[in-house]
Structure 1
Amino acid sequence: MAADDAPLDDKAKRMRDLLSSFYSTDQSSVTNSNAVSSKYATLDTINSPSFDPDHYMNLLVQKSNLETLLQRHVEMAAEIKNLDTDLQMLVYENYNKFISATETIKRMNSNIVGMETNMEQLLEKILSVQSRSDGVNTSLFEKREHIEKLHRTRNLLRKIQFIYDLPERLGKCIKSEAYTDAVKFYTGAMPIFKAYGDSSFQDCKKASEEAVSIIIKNLQGKLFSDSESIQVRAEAVMLLKQLDFPVDNLKDQLFEKLEQSLGDVQLHLDGKIGFSAKPDDSAKQELPNHIPAAHEVSTRELVEAVRAYRVIFPNSEQQLIRISHDLVIKHFESVDTHIKSQISSAQLLDLLKLVWADVLMMDEVLPEASVADVCLEAANHAVKQYITGAFSHLLQDISDSLMKIQINQKETVKEEHPLQAILEASKKAVIQGSMGVLLDFRQLLDDSLPLLNSLRDLVIDWVQEGFQAFFRTLYNRFLLLSGKNNPTSQDLVFHDSMQGDKTVAGLVLVLAQLSVFIDQNAIPRITEEIATSFSSGGVRGYESGPAFVPAEICRIYRSAAEKFLHLYINMKTQRVSVLLKKRFTTPNWIKHKEPREVHMFVDLFLQELEGVLSEVKQLLPEGPTRKHRRADSMSNGSTTSSRSNPLRDDRLLARSNTQKARSQLLETHLAKLFKQKMEIFTKVDATQDSVLTTIVKLCLKSLQEFVRLQTFNRSGFQQIQLDTQFLRNSIKDSVEDEAAVDFLLDEVIVAAVDRCMDPTPLEPAVLDRLVQVKLEKPKQQTSTSQ
């Protein structure tokens, strides 16, 4: 196949060379190139014009053997035959074209025959028409001149009549306030007045000038009248300028009026929304339709005035740009005022749409001002302020719900479960308020306003950053309410409203449970909503990290819940400790009289515990019941009552007799401490039993310390014994860790023994009788009241 294709390629190449040589326009260049190439001729250059046969034969004989020469002879013979055939075909094809061209020329010759005669006839007719037209023009020349002269005279008479009637026309225009027509009439007569005003039309000129002076005065009155619209003022300026009045002298006053007109547009914007301080969803305010229409009219008048001022004062572009920027700034000042009054997102959208419509109108007439860029920057600030304000209002709502505890305490408002009600109200304020602001912000993202579409990514970041900052600020507010934090600059107003109010312990317990709710319920739900609607499109870089970090917020409130729970326990314990300190520092224990009844401080102590139990029952779960009761193997420690411990009675009797007994008692007590190894203070759980038990333990520990600081006589020691026994019987069923409470009560007795000069205990019968009498008093008071 390769051998067959080669001859065909050579044939095609030769045909192209023949046609190229036949139609070539620059034979010299071809000749020169071939002359140069002939120097380096090879066996393949036989088709070139500068082919040298002798040189070719020498090369062929040198490079080929006999068999190759014979084969080359056969090939050349075939090529010659093919070339003859191709040449014959070219001749036939060109012959047919020559015949076709000859026939075409014959047809053209036959068609041209007779055309010259027709052209001569046409020329004769044209010359005849031209001669007749010249005759008509010559005969009508004089009449045409006369008619044109009469027409000019008629026009002149009309102008003269117009000049004579001009003062009267100007007077009618002044009466009808048609100042545009009056200016048109007067400017039309100005050329005649300039030419003949000092001679033929002197009186008419004087009367017209007097009328024009009145027109100028009236136009100036309209220009500076506050009752006239901006469009009317702009027309007055245009007319004064046509009358050659020096309006440039009024430029400053005119621009001052234009700036004052911004107040009219702003007034319509303020009247656009009649918002209340806190919009009520149940009674949504309907906006009257005439207010947006009136605002649009005012804005259009301002836009037309700007358009007119650009024509009147060509060099006033910078002033007009400043005025257009002031318009946007004043609009957003009004928007900021409404935002501070706690408006909804729908109302904010109404305001932004109104402002954007004004911006589009102003941008159309004054594109150099780039009003849209100024509007975008101002909207950036306004929307950010709206989002920040929404979080501030949410923070205030939650604070108000928590402050009801102190308000109720101050106003002595009694409710069945006040703490529970306030906790539920606070939970509702947190979760519903957060969902409400998210829904409100979602409306901003869903709206198709171009102004908000350009801020979409920023709004997403502001919302996430806002929630992060909101929960941090709410945590600081919790600390401020609990009295554990100094007020920051943003909390000064809130702190001033709290001055004079002591922190209520119940409020601290509410804060603890509210922190648990935020950690376990509020943050997961808010995180889910943010992931659904506010997670994409933010402009924060990856290196900055996410704007809202729920794990960090949960950690803060998880720690806060524990902190507030311990603070509540400390506040309650401190209150009881103050009561105990007063009890033990006031009387003279060395001269104490024989005990006749349980001391009043025990009742106050039990009342405080009842208050604690009432508060924790409202807010905390009961928790698992796990009483730590002592086994028989711990009989060397404390027992359920002081009189059921024979060893203690023996020790007390021995101590009252000899110093040796005192030493034995001390040794026995130390041995008990090392053998028992009882864990008194364990981790506090957020349950009723755990909190109450911890408070009881801390109070009894304080009681022990106060006892250590006093010196008792026998009666004082017996009073401590009686009070301790009554407490043991009263609180043993209320606490979670009964063993630890018994141990602490025993420690109080031991401390009293150590500080007593004659630690002789009460007789068991007397002790039981006094305790029983104390227990019977509440029953008697109850039956008496019934």
Structure 2
Amino acid sequence: MDRMKTLLESYYGVGSSGDEDPSLATNLDSASFDRESYVKDRLEKSSFAELLRTDDSLVHEVRTLDADVQLLVYDNYSKFIGATDTIRSMKDKINEIESEVDALASRVDNVHGTTLELNERMRPKRSRIEKLVRLQGLIQKLNFLFELPLRLRQCIEMDAAGQAVRYYQRAVPILQKHAEVASFAAIQKESEEIILQLRENLREKINQPSLSFDSFNESLSLLIELSEGSDLLPSAPSGSLDKEALRDAFFAWHEHHFDAQIKRALELQANLGLEGFVSELCVRVLDDLQSACETYKRLFADGTGLTTPSEEEEVRAAREDAALQLRAFAKPVLSRFLNTVRSRLVADDVMYGGEIHAKEIGRDAAEGKSTRESELNATQRSEAGQFGVLLGALDAFVRHMHETDLGEVVRAGFLQDRSTEVAEHVIRNQVVLAFDELHADVNKRLIAMYDAHVHKEEMQHASPMVRAKELAIEIESDIAQTMMDLDGLLRACSDLLADMSAIFDNLIKFQLRSWVLGLANALECVCDPFHPARRSQGEHGRIALSLHALGDGKSSSSSTSSRQAQGMAPERSKILVDVPVRAGDEPNALLDLACLALQFRLYVRRCPYSIAGAPELMNELDATKERLLLAFVEANANLLSKDLGASVALAPEEVGSEGGFGAWSVRPSIVAVVEGIHRCCKQVSLCSQDDHLLGPAKKLNEAEADDEPSLGAGTAFDADMRAHSGRFMRSSTGNRVTASVQKDIERMFSRRVTLYEHVQLTADSVALNLLKVILKTLFEATRESTFSREAFQQFEIDLYFLRSVVPTLVEDVEVPSTQLTQVMAASRDRCVDPEPLSQDVIDRACRASRAAMREHQEASS
């Protein structure tokens, strides 16, 4: 029993290991299991109930294992029985096969014997049959030779010159071999005359322009085969044909043929559609060119023809010369073909809509294509969008170019490179067209917005920023649609031209960059007829525009244009835009355009598309916004200061004041300036969402309680004014020279006020720049005027009024205060008798004017 156990363990590989673990002696599933240790351990550690449960489980497992072993034995037994039956069956079949092989071998022996017997019986008759067959062949050849002239004439009448030459080629060797036979010599002479006549016919035939492509090549090939010096016409007269002349005829006819093919394709393009036109042109030119090159190399470039050089160097030189001539012929044909395809693919009408698909389906049906095929083509085109037909044409063009093989006529990869070049040019053109259309749509929207302001149309929203946001959303929608269309085009072309994917990506990046720069120029061109980036000729002309852009003009618009031209980046100046000149100068439109520039700066920052040089573009849009705000300030300043120069030196009675000197008041033009600045601040505040509408320092209605301190004798403004009062009094003539010298010295050391600084989209910045421009205008008008005492006193009230409202407009009152001081000093200098008013009169006049202005503002609100 132990021996059997050892054998089973060694067979199944479960024998006891030499390294037994004593700790696993009580584990039933371990190889180190020891039944005595297990029983002892169970008795020591388990209770009686646990022992009973263990016993039941062991009994159950043993029975399960016995059943499994029984099933395994039964299964193995059935397999052994099946194997025994199979072996017995194979033994029986092998015996049957041996008997059949023996029968087959006997039959083969019988067939072999019968064959040998038949060969012996048929040997005499076989030799006789072979003689008769040879005789029949000879008779047929003789019949062919005797009928050769008739056959040749019939072929010529049927215009089957090739068949006639083949007949003659078969007969010439026999006729030349048996030339001593009179009948054969007569047949040869008659046949040669017929062939010579055929050669003359072929020579006349190749000069016919209406000859088909295959007919010409066949005729020329036959003509060269029948040329002087060949074995076919040994008795032909010499000098009848020239190989160079045949080569020139070959090139001339094919040049005319390809010109006619291109012209014919252009005539059919209206009925073919774009894809059909490109396919037709490729078939007419590329396939024929490939066939023509093969024919030329076979006829002229293989060293055969009229003469056969004996020296190898001469043969190689002749082949090289023939290849050069073929290359010189093929390149112009390819160039005309590529130019024709390129010009058609870049035409403006290649972006088709839905109706062209119906035409294509109808054309497919006319060509015999199935309805399912036509519907499949239409589905593919619809998935490609408006560029579906263009992509089909490009695919046909590239496929034909890649399949055409011109051998050594062009360098390796030449056709693939040219097809890639044309396809890239076409795609670039379509991208440019798409962005040009986007430019045109944006310009139309900008013009519509500007015209709405010029014609004083009612706006849906009061805030310029809200209007700019709505317009920006519309433009962004146009961009998204354009990018969606181009995405399908570029994805398809990247599959068509695998190495063009990166180039197309960069193309879109830089087109987006150019579009943003063009938008920045368009925003400024809408409001400036002299902008250097304007492409429209208009009424001014390009020369006038350039001169004004350089600062030759003296108008405010030309000065603005000069500043813009000086501050414009060189790259931006190259992005010209088509924006027609608009009539009118509307400052509110300028503010809307500035808000739109700000919106597109935000768009560039969060743009979902990759744009080349996005940080620089944001800087450009910032500069555009500042220039538009500057133009907004300048336009408002021109409007507000328009009447200041004419009325600055007028006395109260000259402007219609009633009551003489007892009823002093601020002039309406000065009040209108302050109200205009308030209006501008309010508009800007709506854009920037400031907490105040009238300025960051004080509201006008809150300044009433501080009137006395702000205008009393203790203010810095009054102290400055009184400090200069004695200096500019003209008490005697003798002091005029000293006063003039002193005035020049003070001007040298006075503070320099810079106009047109950077304008921010805040009420304070706009108000400060407006004040600087208006006060500068007021200062220049003051220096050019002469004041009477009453006019000087009126002007003093006006200046004190402006001084009192400056803190309500701007935070930094230093620059306006300096300018007001300069204006007051200039008025004193230009006054004949500068006698100031009392402070009480000035305060009452200013207070009354402020109250009236406040009531007017409340009523308008």
TM-score class, shorter: 0.5 to 0.7
Tell me, in whole angstroms, the C-alpha distance in 2 between the residues paired with 1:272 and 1:771. 83
Partner in structure 2 of residue 205 of structure 1? 191
After superposition, residues 208-607 of structure 1 pair within 5 angstroms as 208-209=194-195, 211-213=197-199, 215-217=201-203, 219-222=205-208, 224-225=209-210, 228-244=211-227, 248-263=244-259, 266=262, 287=273, 291=277, 294-298=280-284, 299-314=286-301, 315=319, 316-318=322-324, 323=330, 327=334, 330-331=337-338, 334-335=341-342, 338-339=345-346, 341=348, 346=388, 348-363=390-405, 369-370=412-413, 371-384=415-428, 386-387=430-431, 390-391=434-435, 394-395=438-439, 398-399=442-443, 401-402=445-446, 415-417=457-459, 427=472, 431-447=476-492, 451-468=496-513, 470-472=515-517, 475=520, 478=524, 480=532, 483=561, 484-485=564-565, 494=576, 508-525=590-607, 528-530=608-610, 548-574=612-638, 576-577=640-641, 579-581=643-645, 583-584=647-648, 593=654, 595-596=656-657
> What SS is found at the alignment partner of 2:761?
coil
Contact 2:643–2:669 (Cα < 8 Å) also in 1: yes
Q: For each residue in 1:311-333, what CA deviation from the matched residue of structure 2 results, as whole angstroms up to 9, or x when unmatched?
A: 33334545555626852674256
**Structure 1 residues 723 and 254 mapped into 2: Cα distance closer, same or farther (>3 Å)?**
farther
Q: How many residues align?
A: 589
Q: For each residue in 1:513-549, what CA deviation from the matched residue of structure 2 results, as whole angstroms up to 9, or x when unmatched?
A: 2321121124412xx333xxxxxxxxxxxxxxxx834
Q: Provide structure 1 residue ranges, at least 5 long, that are not aligned to the other structure.
A: 1-121, 275-284, 531-546, 660-679
Tell me, in whole angstroms, the C-alpha distance in 2 between the residues paired with 1:618 and 1:267. 65
The residue type equivalent to 1:308 in the other structure is T
After superposition, residues 600-749 of structure 1 pair within 5 angstroms as 624-625=692-693, 626=696, 628=698, 629-630=702-703, 635-638=708-711, 685-687=760-762, 691-692=766-767, 694-696=769-771, 698-700=773-775, 702-704=777-779, 706-707=781-782, 710-720=785-795
Contact 2:797–2:842 (Cα < 8 Å) also in 1: no
> What SS is found at the alignment partner of 1:455?
helix
**Structure 1 residues 414 and 219 mapped into 2: Cα distance closer, same or farther (>3 Å)?**
farther
Partner in structure 2 of residue 169 of structure 1? 154
> What SS is found at the alignment partner of 1:637?
helix
The residue type equivalent to 1:566 in the other structure is L
Partner in structure 1 of residue 162 of structure 2? 180
Q: For each residue in 1:473-524, what CA deviation from the matched residue of structure 2 results, as whole angstroms up to 9, or x when unmatched?
A: 6556657466211696996895898799898756654443232112112441
**Structure 1 residues 648 and 360 mapped into 2: Cα distance closer, same or farther (>3 Å)?**
closer
The residue type equivalent to 1:243 in the other structure is L
Offset at residue 761 of structure 1 (A): 5.0
Offset at residue 356 of structure 1 (A): 0.3
The residue type equivalent to 1:569 in the other structure is V
**Structure 1 residues 392 and 649 mapped into 2: Cα distance closer, same or farther (>3 Å)?**
closer
Moved more, 693-702 or 456-465: 693-702
> What SS is found at the alignment partner of 1:304?
helix
TM-score of the pair, normalised by structure 1: 0.57
Tell me, in whole angstroms, the C-alpha distance in 2 between the residues paired with 1:268 and 1:426. 50
**Structure 1 residues 462 and 767 mapped into 2: Cα distance closer, same or farther (>3 Å)?**
closer
- The two structures, once aligned, show a CA RMSD in angstroms of 6.1
Offset at residue 451 of structure 1 (A): 4.4
Contact 2:590–2:628 (Cα < 8 Å) also in 1: yes
**Structure 1 residues 615 and 769 mapped into 2: Cα distance closer, same or farther (>3 Å)?**
closer
Partner in structure 2 of residue 37 of structure 1? none
Tell me, in whole angstroms, the C-alpha distance in 2 between the residues paired with 1:563 and 1:398. 20
Offset at residue 218 of structure 1 (A): 5.4
Q: Provide structure 2 residue ranges, at least 5 long, that are not aligned to the other structure.
A: 1-109, 228-240, 302-318, 352-386, 525-530, 534-559, 659-665, 732-754
Contact 1:508–1:567 (Cα < 8 Å) also in 2: yes
Moved more, 162-171 or 335-344: 335-344
Tell me, in whole angstroms, the C-alpha distance in 1 between the residues paired with 2:295 and 2:631. 73
Q: For each residue in 1:113-165, what CA deviation from the matched residue of structure 2 results, as whole angstroms up to 9, or x when unmatched?
A: xxxxxxxxx9xx99x989967x964x987x66974675365224412442242
Offset at residue 447 of structure 1 (A): 1.6
The residue type equivalent to 1:358 in the other structure is H
The residue type equivalent to 2:501 in the other structure is R
The residue type equivalent to 1:555 in the other structure is N
Contact 2:807–2:813 (Cα < 8 Å) also in 1: no
Contact 2:293–2:326 (Cα < 8 Å) also in 1: yes
The residue type equivalent to 1:553 in the other structure is L
Contact 1:711–1:755 (Cα < 8 Å) also in 2: yes
**Structure 1 residues 377 and 254 mapped into 2: Cα distance closer, same or farther (>3 Å)?**
same
Tell me, in whole angstroms, the C-alpha distance in 1 between the residues paired with 2:687 and 2:653. 43
Partner in structure 2 of residue 107 of structure 1? none
Tell me, in whole angstroms, the C-alpha distance in 1 between the residues paired with 2:684 and 2:510. 36
> What SS is found at the alignment partner of 1:529?
coil
Contact 2:595–2:625 (Cα < 8 Å) also in 1: yes
The residue type equivalent to 1:431 in the other structure is E
Contact 1:714–1:758 (Cα < 8 Å) also in 2: yes
Q: For each residue in 1:377-417, what CA deviation from the matched residue of structure 2 results, as whole angstroms up to 9, or x when unmatched?
A: 454455455545655554565456546678889xx755335
Contact 1:303–1:361 (Cα < 8 Å) also in 2: no
Q: For each residue in 1:13-58, what CA deviation from the matched residue of structure 2 results, as whole angstroms up to 9, or x when unmatched?
A: xxxxxxxxxxxxxxxxxxxxxxxxxxxxxxxxxxxxxxxxxxxxxx
**Structure 1 residues 567 and 414 mapped into 2: Cα distance closer, same or farther (>3 Å)?**
closer
Offset at residue 359 of structure 1 (A): 0.5
Q: For each residue in 1:620-664, what CA deviation from the matched residue of structure 2 results, as whole angstroms up to 9, or x when unmatched?
A: 656534451558677343379x9xx999999999999998xxxxx
**Structure 1 residues 771 and 682 mapped into 2: Cα distance closer, same or farther (>3 Å)?**
same
TM-score of the pair, normalised by structure 2: 0.53
